[in-house]
A and B are shown apart, each in its own frame.
Chain A
Amino acid sequence: MTDQNVNAAAAEIEMYGALKDKEPPKEPRSQWRDVWDQFRRHKGALIGGGFLLFITLAVLVGPLIWTVDAKQLDIRNKDMRPLYTLLWDGDARTSWAKPLGSDNLGRDILATLIAGGRASMAVGWTAMILALFIGTAVGVSAGYFRRLDGPLMRLTDLFLSLPILPLLLVAVTLFRQPLRASFGPETGMFILIVGVIGITSWMQTARIVRGEVLALKEREFILAARSIGTTPFAIIRRHLLPNVVSPIMVSATLGLATAIITESALSFLGVGFPSDFPTWGKLLSDAVPRMEEFPERVMLPGILISLTVLSVNYLGDGLRDALDPRIRGR
């Protein structure tokens, strides 16, 4: 009788293999390991992330390898064509010293592209970080402090109904002179452009973060933290912010893409950086009048902008999939 019982119990244990385990079968996997495994499966995101890394490194390290000065005029060697034009046109004016050719003042195009990329990426990253910072601050405050919710969200709605591109144009055109006077032409423009892009693109982040915080605030761990007397700021720093990292990262990629496009659009419309300071958008717009003879001067910066934005978009797509636990593991 008892033997039977013991046997039955043993058989039951046999049936549920997990009950026999003395220790966890595998090392417990961290969340970021899971995220990385899911992210790796998204080919587009992997390629996009790789390309973004490559471009960022290229514009950072590039000037050390290709040491030609982007502002160096060389009138004798102006209007060179890139080396690859030799493939279909043997008579084209090319030179190994200028692999991507030179512009109408003899400036080396490879060097200007690297310098322009530096400016565009710097504006993109800084404006994105500024927008994320404002957006997260507004979103967390609106979500956590009920008294601030109404006013801050009305403010967000107001900002969402501002006509962004016209206002950007107005702000940049009208405030160019004083900022240039006080910070120098390049720094002044940089502050102005980063500032206006950052101030006009935080709204989506704020809305998403507020939604997440509103949901998280009702969870037990926040209640537990509050019951042991944690101050609101400690709760936000220790418990809320780590949990809203994923939506923030996804909107960071979107923000980077829009910031790069907006800066290029402003440069294209002629209200961007001063004329001797190259950015990708500026190079593109400067080349438009002579694009029939020198199409590469339009194509190269345009392709660089598009590829960077495309890779950032794919990266965001992959991150969204990888950071969403409902999709992960399928």
Chain B
Amino acid sequence: MLTYTIRRLVLSIPTLLFISVVIFLLLQLAPGDPMAQVPLTVPPDVKQKMRDALGLGAPIHVQYWKWLVQFFWIEPQVLIDHWFGTGLAEGKLRVISWQTRSPVMDIVVQRMPQTLWVVGMSYVVGILIALPIGIYSAYKQYSLFDQAGTFVSMIGFSIPPFFSGVLVIVIFSVNLGWFPSIYDTTHVVTDWASFKIQLQQMVMPVMVLALQTTAQISRFMRASMLDNLNQDYVRTARAKGLKESVVVLVHVLRNSMIPIITVIALGIPSIFGGAIITETLFKVNGIGQLLLTALFANDLPMVMTLTFIFAILIVLFNLIADVLYGILDPRIRYD
């Protein structure tokens, strides 16, 4: 298992390098000039100097190498400095955003908590709703509950988040006035009243994202439970005289959770992608919204770094899912 994990880790390095090359070339091929926003009164030769200062005059491979060094060598040093108070990265050039002229990673670190808070919470809520629905649908297959569950999850698959989000805004914040339609990230929770406000503003974005998670995972949970419910060991467990709750919730559930856990791990990166839309809709200033504004402002280092962070998340969680599958299921042996 350890050798498998190490092999996968080593293999993920060329994968990530390839992805970074693809993103970099895509951005290089793209037209657009970071000096487009500079006033027309600035003479062309000054503009050219500004371009050179941003490192744009250098050949492509030099630019790529510089980005690579900055992202993989200097940024970790900054992190170590931050944690241990050392001075490794002093005076070294970090990845700089063209929009704000400040290091990209600093902005990402500022934006990350909002995204994690909304996205992570919605994922947890979605899973917590999905698991009982999946278990009960499978246990009472073809019952009214099961049919309704199938229908609701079909709807969850089909309604895109930008419509369900708009729908809940129209219903709950315009017509009923229960929840605010804009997520206030400056809100600080100090006491019970402010906690309630925080809860109110989180309900809608979290539920919109959770609907998709629920639809997907409850289907997988149902299928996986159905696979196990007809197995011989279940009959044996019943024949031993175990209580029905023990049979279903201990014997069957534990076996059914194996594929579900990998599905959950695989879904985490895609939820970050879906968060781009939800963040735009509810005006959460997380990393999805950061990516969008950076794109529209032609802020290439920011776009490059953010897209690459998404790629790292995908590769990492794919690896985690595969390794977890091997650890949890003794029938799977990679070696």
Contact = CB atoms under 8 A, between A and B. Distances in A.
Interface of A: 44, 157-158, 160-167, 169-171, 173-175, 177-178, 257, 261, 264-265, 268-269, 271, 281, 284-285, 288, 291-292, 295, 298-299, 302, 305-307, 309-310, 313-314, 317
Interface class of chain A by DSSP: helix
Contact of A313 (B158, B166, B273, B306): B158
Nearest to B311: A163
B96 interface: no
Contacts of A265: 160, 162, 277
A261 B273 CA distance: 14
B296 A162 contact: no
A327 to B, nearest CB: 14
Nearest to B316: A161
B160 A261 contact: yes
A141 to B, nearest CB: 20
A169 B269 contact: no
B160 A309 contact: yes
B122 to A, nearest CB: 16
Interface string B255-282: 0000000000000010001101100100
A298 B167 CA distance: 8
Contacts of B160: 261, 264-265, 305-306, 309
Interface in B269-315: 269, 273-274, 276-277, 280, 291-292, 295-296, 303, 306-307, 310-311, 313-315
Given A158-B15, A264-B160, A306-B155, 9 more contacts: A158-B19, A161-B19, A162-B19, A169-B292, A174-B29, A178-B31, A257-B157, A269-B292, A309-B160
A307 B158 CA distance: 8
**8 closest Cβ pairs, A-B complex:** A174-B30, A163-B310, A302-B163, A310-B158, A165-B273, A309-B158, A268-B162, A306-B159
Given A161-B311, A167-B23, A305 B163 contact: yes
A209 to B, nearest CB: 21
A158 B18 contact: yes
B227 to A, nearest CB: 15
Nearest to A264: B160
A307 B169 CA distance: 20
Contacts of B273: 163-166
B154 interface: yes
Given A163-B314, A313-B158, A291 B15 contact: no
- Residue of B166, B291, B310, B314 with most chain A CB atoms under a 10 A cut-off: B166
A170 B303 contact: yes
Interface of B: 15, 18-19, 22-23, 26-27, 29-32, 154-155, 157-160, 162-163, 166-167, 169-170, 174, 269, 273-274, 276-277, 280, 291-292, 295-296, 303, 306-307, 310-311, 313-315, 318
A271 B293 CA distance: 12
A293 to B, nearest CB: 10
Given A174-B26, A269-B277, A161 B306 contact: no
Given A174-B31, A257-B158, A298-B170, A284 B163 contact: yes
A300 to B, nearest CB: 11
A171 B154 CA distance: 30
Nearest to A172: B295
B304 to A, nearest CB: 9
A157 B314 CA distance: 11
A178 B32 CA distance: 10
A166 B100 CA distance: 21
A166 B315 CA distance: 15
Contacts of A173: 295-296
B161 to A, nearest CB: 8
Contact of B291 (A166, A268, A299): A166
A139 to B, nearest CB: 20
B166 A284 contact: yes
A171 B29 CA distance: 10
7 contacts: A163-B273, A164-B273, A169-B292, A170-B23, A298-B170, A306-B160, A306-B163
Contacts of A317: 154
A322 B314 CA distance: 34
Contacts of B31: 174, 177-178
Given A284-B163, A298-B166, A310-B155, A170 B311 contact: no
Nearest to A303: B163
A174 B27 contact: yes
Interface centre among B23, B273, B303 (most CB of A within 10 A): B273
Contacts of B23: 167, 170
Contacts of A165: 273-274, 276
A161 B166 contact: no
Contact of B174 (A44, A268, A292): A292
A167 B158 CA distance: 23
B15 A264 contact: no
Nearest to B32: A174
A314 B313 CA distance: 32
Contact of B30 (A160, A175, A261, A299): A175
Nearest to B291: A166
Contacts of B163: 284, 298, 302, 305-306
A175 B155 CA distance: 34
B292 to A, nearest CB: 7
A314 B292 CA distance: 33
Contacts of A174: 26-27, 29-32, 295
Contacts of A295: 170, 174
Given A162-B311, A295-B170, A309-B160, A170 B27 contact: yes
B276 A169 contact: yes
Contacts of B155: 306, 310
A75 to B, nearest CB: 26
A39 to B, nearest CB: 17
Contact of B162 (A166, A167, A284): A284
